[in-house]
């Protein structure tokens, strides 16, 4: 589709903002653990050469601490429980009801 097209309300445009280097690196690291594959994915997302992404990854690796995604609350020796709740479907059918 073109970036600008006509509608009955006037012309419309699509805004195209490629991701920043940091956003592309984070997205690529979420997809794979292989560093070379991360560089290729980030380069394709940003539409730049892999050399530019490689340099940005080297800079980001020196200043960024790994993000901890798992946290446990409470005492370490306390038993952990998993609670699974089932949501009941409360939709009513449109059919006739017997009385």
What's residue 51's pLDDT? 92
Given pLDDT bands bounded at 50, 70 and 90, which one contains residue 79?
Answer: confident
Query: What whole-number distance in Å separates Cα of residue 74 and Cα of residue 55?
Result: 41
10 SS3 class? strand
For the chain, which residues make up each domain, given as ranges? 17-63
Give dist(CA 74, CA 19) in Å, integer: 38
47: left (phi over 0), alpha (psi -120 to 50) or beta: left
Which residues pair with residue 13 across a beta bridge? 4
CB-CB contact of 56 with 25 (8 Å): yes
Percent of the chain's residues with pLDDT above 70:
64
Query: Quick one: pLDDT at residue 22?
Result: 84
The answer to whether residue 89 scores a pLDDT higher than 60 is: yes
**Tens digits of residue pLDDT in 19-66:** 888 888 888 888 888 889 999 999 998 888 899 999 888 887 676 555
Residue % of the chain over a pLDDT of 90: 8
């Amino acid at each position: 589709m073109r970036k600008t097209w006509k509608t009955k309300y006037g012309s419309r445009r699509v805004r195209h903002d490629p991701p920043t280097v940091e956003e592309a690196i984070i997205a690529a690291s979420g997809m794979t653990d292989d560093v070379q594959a991360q560089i290729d994915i980030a380069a394709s997302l940003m539409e730049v050469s892999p050399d530019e992404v490689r340099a940005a990854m080297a800079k980001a690796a020196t200043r960024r601490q790994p993000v901890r995604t798992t946290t446990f609350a409470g005492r370490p020796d306390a038993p952990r429980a998993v609670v699974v709740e089932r949501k009941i479907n409360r939709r009513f059918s449109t059919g006739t009801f017997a009385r």
